[in-house]
Amino acid sequence: MRTAVVTAILFVIVAIVLAIGAGEQTGPNRFVVLGVVNGAVFGLMALGLVLVYKGTRVFNFMQGEFGTFGAYLLFIAIEDINMAYGFGIVFALAGVVVAGLMVERVIIRPLINSPRITVLVATIAIALLAVGIQILVFRIDPKALSPIMQTVDAAGVPQGLTVFELPIEPQRLIAVATLLSFGILLGWFFSRTDLGLAVLATSQDAFATRVVGIGVERMSRFIWGSAALLGGIAGLLYIPVAGALLPGVMSSNILIPAFTGAVIGGMTSLPGAFVGGVTIGLVQALSLWAAGHYFIGERALAEVIPGAEQLSILAVLLLVLLARPQGLLGTEA
Amino acid sequence: MYSNRRRTLIALCALLLIVAAACGQKPGVGLGALPAGAAGENIVVDPETGALVNTETGEIFDPETGEVISTGSGGIIDSSGDTTSQDSGSGSTSGSETGGGSQDPGETEAEEGPEPSGGDATGVEGDVIKIGIHAPITGAAPVPSSAFEAGKDLYWNWLKENNVKINGRDVEVVFRNDNYNPSQAVAACKEMVEQEKVFMLFGLAGVDQIQACARYAASVGVPYLSAGVTEIGLSNLPSYFALWMSYAQQGPLLADLLVTKLGAGDEVNGMVRFNTPGFQDAHDAYISGMSDAGADVAYDRAVSKTAGQTDAQTIATELNQQGVENVYVLTSPVWFIQLLQAAQNQGYHPQWVGVGLSMGIDTVPNVACRNQNSIQDARFLNPFPAVVDVNKYDPDFTKAGGRTDTSNGSIELGLWGMSKVAHQLLLLPGDDLTRERFVYFAERAQGVKTGVFPDLNYAPDNHLGGDAMHLLRADCSQSRWITEQSFVSDF
């Protein structure tokens, strides 16, 4: 019920903004679209964060680097090994899942009974290590990664869908569809399957779960493998349309907005990750639009308040947490 | 009820804090401590270093005390508060020509004047001169470390192989990563000066880092040579020398390129720049240059230095929405690539233009051309020619091992050119090489030719010696820059 209400409120806000911008050449309508499609990538990343949090009660700072690692694997597959793009994706995602399982086995599982803060710090350490390895192996040299489908045809005409005169690349449409699919799939998984309930039970009381015969290690493996897969998918969908593949790019560009989205949504809620991600996308895009559109004296807001979009996100985060500390759709489990 | 009220109150307080934080980033805030007349519209705050700079006069103020650290008239304030003027010199100025022909080191002319004797010879030990270079190898706009490793000693090793000495001395290079961060740049420069005992410093890239290090170098009397970037807080430093035209000097040249060569006079023009005080003079010079050339800049946008892909998409959407046909981009190369990709995704292809050095490295077209030729025909002013054409200008570069077949070659060529300038300037003081004599002779050097960079002509009251640039055009059939015009001072 609450999910429906929050989503409805979000829709109403979007509708009001669209109505305000209707007919105005430099109005915010295109930026609403931009916010939603960007928010889909944040949401996809947030889903992975929520998955780990739901299963282990840990904030996973490694999540972004699963995405960057996957993108580098895809780059190697299609540029160095000359694999077909489809096989490259399979290769990259398989590699990312293996990396996730290795992280779980080598770092997370030995810490399974440690305080959560210890595990959190461990994920930060792994993320930094991953960035360091990327720098060593791939150097700080921007690389271009082709998208699944080209964004423009041979004549330079944009492909995909055009909304409010804004072309949306096929890659971003795939991201939106993937986010929706995974949101529904994971929602069903956690509420309707024995394995999903077992994951939730493990997160609440590992000892009791073990007593009733559920393998805590198996659950941990499953969570980290799935989270790595989600992070990898987000990376493969985002980086080709972002322009440049660089070490740590997903952590620096996506992780913070995704975290914020997950917290706004309520760290335990999968629909919340979706709503939070899209909310962050909208706030970012609209505040950037406002920063260039409105002036204080003769100076644009963007010049008077540098980083207006970051401030807007923080403001929204603070307001949501003060009004509802458990997040918009947060629940106990 | 009470709980709700308290929550509302806390929320309001939090919002106030956010607004206060935002106000802290406004140029001019916190100027209360400045002496009368110092505060005003032209004072900008470097958000990273906290330094206060008057964009009109070039004066630099201590952000805490409000005292003037450096004046705009070429003097620095010593610890007692007195102003030490630069030696204005009285030598005659020899003629100079715009051109880039090769010249043997040692032919550079220096104006006559009262010549200092002796001074600080730190970094000159026996037959070795130690110089320090800082550049971002990591951070938001990194230079590929492999290119840097290969390029920093390229020219000096070439001299050694050919038994060429600088008044009987070789040059040894010390390098430090500044992480694209002004504070770390100062720390790196300080370490090179105090621990490594270098004679002089070089700044390769990064406006804020160069500003910060140059100020530090001036405060300890160390000569500092850098890429031509901003003039704010630099042009008045007594030991600072730019190796090519500053961004502000390139602004009118770029306007000339747009209007005269690219027909932008009747088109919709725009500028996108990072929101840093170091770009303010570049912005103002370009706007004024366009105005003088009879063109209007309809779209003028500053974006955060930490801008990401969302910002790139937003800006591309705005540019497209407003039908901007020519865009001057003054940002980091990585963000420019993101902007190009965002524009390409929308089927939006304006004429991209800008100034070098950072955009002139081949990595930019190499990546952007792979993104469906998004950079095709972009034109950028650059201090050196496209590396693919280098043999026409300086065949020694490839003979010395400089690479032309990788993106890193352009960085190597930039370092090669910088080293050649340094070589000529280091020759001028003769055997008695001290920091004071180096500055004295450098600021009188005329016709510094490298064959790579346009000629440099310094004067005691002008340490920005360049007056020409190369024009590069992105050619996606080769995924690199090609040289469209060389040593050009007008179009």
Separation CA B208–CA B46 (nearest Å): 8
CB contact under 8 A, B318 and A292: yes
User: At residue B332, does pLDDT exceed 90?
Assistant: no
Unique residue bearing structure tokens 């043999």: B391
Chain A residues near residue B303 by CB distance under 8 angstroms = 302
Secondary structure of chain A: what % helix, strand, coil (to 5)?
75, 5, 25
Contact (Cβ atoms closer than 8 angstroms) between residue A176 and residue A37: yes
- Residue A129 pLDDT > 90, yes or no? yes
- Beta carbons within 8 Å of B121's beta carbon, 6+ residues apart: B199, B433, B434, B435
d(CA A171, CA A71) in angstroms, rounded, equals 14
Lowest mean pLDDT, pick from A30-34, A309-313, B89-93: B89-93
Q: Does B45 touch chain A (CB under 8 A)?
A: no
Q: Check: pTM over 0.90? Answer yes or no.
A: no
| Token pair recorded at residue B404 | 């032309």
Contact assignment for B372 to A38 by CB distance below 8 Å? no
Find which of A134, A151, A254, A282 to mutate to test the B interface (most B CBs within 10 Å of its CB). Answer: A151
For range B12-29, the mean pLDDT: 44
List the single residue in A38, A141, A315 with the smallest CB-CB distance to B310: A38
- In a 3-state reduction of DSSP, which class is residue A158? strand
DSSP state, residue B116: -
Rounded Cα–Cα distance for residues A286 and A275 (Å):
16
Are the Cβ atoms of A150 and B372 closer than 8 angstroms?
yes
| Cα gap A93→A74, rounded to integer Å | 8
Question: Could you tell me what percent of chain A has a pLDDT over 90?
Answer: 31
- What pLDDT score was predicted for residue B90? 30
Q: Which tokens sit at A156? A: 């330079």
ipTM: 0.80
Out of A141-145, A163-167, A325-329, B370-374, least confident range: B370-374
Question: What pLDDT sits at residue A61?
Answer: 93
Kindly state the tokens that stand for B419. Answer: 């080293």
Give yes or no for residue A163 having a pLDDT over 50.
Answer: yes
Cα–Cα distance list, B14 to A231, A263, B23 (Å): 33, 18, 14
Q: How many helices (H) and strands (E) does chain B have?
A: 14, 21
pLDDT at B288 over 60: yes
pLDDT at A302 > cutoff 50: yes
Looking at residue B394, its pLDDT comes to 93
The full length of chain B comes to: 491
Res. B105: pLDDT tops 80: no
Instruction: Select the residue of A146, A166, A300 nearest B317 (Cβ to Cβ).
Output: A166
Cα–Cα distance measured from residue B255 to residue B287, given in angstroms and rounded to the nearest whole number: 8
How far is Cα A277 from Cα A261, in angstroms, rounded to an integer?
Answer: 4
DSSP for B45-107, please give it: E-TTT--EEETTT--EE-TTT--EEE-TTS-EE-TTSPEEPPP---PPPPP---------TT-
Q: Is B342 on the interface with A (CB under 8 A)?
A: yes
H-helix or E-strand containing B174?
A: strand B170-177
CA distance B62 to B220: 16
Using only C-alpha atoms, what is the Rg of chain B?
23
Q: What is the dihedral of CA A6, A9, A10, A13, to 10 degrees?
A: -160
Q: Which residues of A touch B368 (CB under 8 A)?
A: 144, 243
Give the tens place of pLDDT for each residue, B211-251: 999 999 999 999 999 988 889 889 889 999 999 999 999 99
Q: Would you place residue B210 in the very low, low, confident or very high pLDDT band (cuts 50, 70, 90)?
A: very high
* The pLDDT of residue B452: 92
Bridge partners, B326 (sequence order): B269, B351
CA distance B71 to chain A (A): 26
Query: Which residues are A245's β-sheet partners?
Result: A143
Question: Would you say residue B87 has pLDDT above 50?
Answer: no
**Residue A57, H or E segment:** none
In angstroms, the CA B177 to CA B184 distance is 8
Mean pLDDT of the region A322-331: 82
> In this predicted structure, what is the pLDDT of residue A65?
94
Instruction: Give dist(CA A284, CA A289) in Å, integer.
Output: 9
A169: left (phi over 0), alpha (psi -120 to 50) or beta: beta
**Whether B349 contacts chain A with CB within 8 A:** yes
More confident residue, B402 or B106: B402
Write the pLDDT tens digit of every residue in B156-196. 999 999 999 999 999 999 999 988 889 999 999 999 999 99
| The predicted structure's pLDDT at residue B383 | 94
CB within 8 Å: A305 and B15: no
Name beta bridge partners: B54.
Answer: B43
pLDDT of residue B46: 47
Query: Would the pLDDT of A121 be above 90?
Result: yes
Q: Does A305 touch chain B (CB under 8 A)?
A: yes
pLDDT in tens, B106-145: 455 555 567 787 789 999 988 999 999 998 887 666 677 7
Minimal Cα distance from B277: which residue of A? A303
> In this complex, is the C-beta atom of A288 within 8 Å of any C-beta atom belonging to chain B?
yes
Residue A3, burial from CB neighbour count under 10 angstroms (0-12, 13-18, 19+): middle
More confident residue, B366 or A157: B366
Q: Please give the single-letter amino acid code of residue B370.
A: R
CA distance A286 to A282: 6
Angle at A49 between CA A45 and CA A55, to 5 degrees: 145
If you search the block for the tokens 């009251």, which residue do you land on?
Answer: B461
Sign of the dihedral defined by the CA atoms of residues B248, B250, B253, B259, in that order: negative
Residue A170 near residue A159 (C-beta atoms within 8 A): yes
Q: Which two tokens stand for residue B431?
A: 């055997």
Q: Is B138 an 8 Å CB contact of chain A?
A: yes
**Residue A310: both structure tokens together:** 């970051």
What is the pLDDT of chain B when averaged over all its residues?
A: 80
- The tens digit of pLDDT for each residue in A222-250 reads 989 999 999 999 999 999 888 889 899 99
Residues 199-228 of A with CB under 8 A from B: none
Average pLDDT over residues A18-45: 81
Lateral strand order in the sheet of B60-61: B43-45, B52-54, B60-61, B68-70, B76-77, B83-84
What pLDDT, on a 0 to 100 scale, did the predictor assign at position B13? Answer: 53
CB of A25 less than 8 A from some CB of B: yes
Res B169: pLDDT: 94
Instruction: Write down the pLDDT at residue A1.
Output: 65
Tell whether A15 is within 8 A of chain B (Cβ): no
Chain B neighbors of A284, CB-CB under 8 A:
310
Cα dist from A67 to A60, A71, B95, B145, B440, whole Å = 13, 6, 59, 24, 55
Residue of A nearest to B320 (CA): A166
Residue A314: list chain B partners with CB under 8 A.
Answer: 18
Which residue, among A70, A72, A43, has the nearest Cα to A265 in the 3D structure?
A43
* Gap between the Cα atoms of B313 and A36, Å rounded: 13
pLDDT at A35 over 80: yes
Q: What is the pLDDT of residues B410-467, one digit of tens each?
A: 889 999 999 999 999 999 999 899 999 999 999 999 999 999 999 999 999 999 989 9
Closest chain A residue by Cα to residue B143: A140
pLDDT at B22: 43
Report the pLDDT averaged over residues B361-376.
85
- Residue B131's beta-bridge partner residues? B173, B200
Interface of A with B in 65-124 (CB under 8 A): none
Taking the Cβ of residue B113 and every Cβ of chain A, the question of whether any pair is shorter than 8 Å is answered with no
Chain B: give the shortest CA distance to residue A304, in Å. 5
- Cβ proximity of B403 and B390 under 8 Å: no
Q: Are the C-beta atoms of residues A147 and A169 closer than 8 Å to each other?
A: yes
Please list, residue by residue across B428-467, b when 16 or more beta carbons sit within 10 angstroms of its beta carbon and e when fewer do: bbeeebbbbbbbbbbbbbbbbbbbbbbbbbbbbeebbbbb
Of the candidates A156, A166, A244, which has its C-beta nearest B337's C-beta?
A244
Spell out which residues of chain A touch residue B339, defining contact as CB-CB under 8 Å.
Answer: 243
Which DSSP category does B43 fall into?
E
Please tell me the predicted confidence (pLDDT) of residue B12.
55
Locate the chain B residue with the closest alpha carbon to A39.
B310
- The per-residue pLDDT for range A46-101, each reduced to its tens digit, is 988 998 888 888 889 999 999 999 999 999 999 999 999 999 999 999 999 999 99
CB contact under 8 A, B302 and A289: no
User: A106 pLDDT exceeds 90?
Assistant: yes
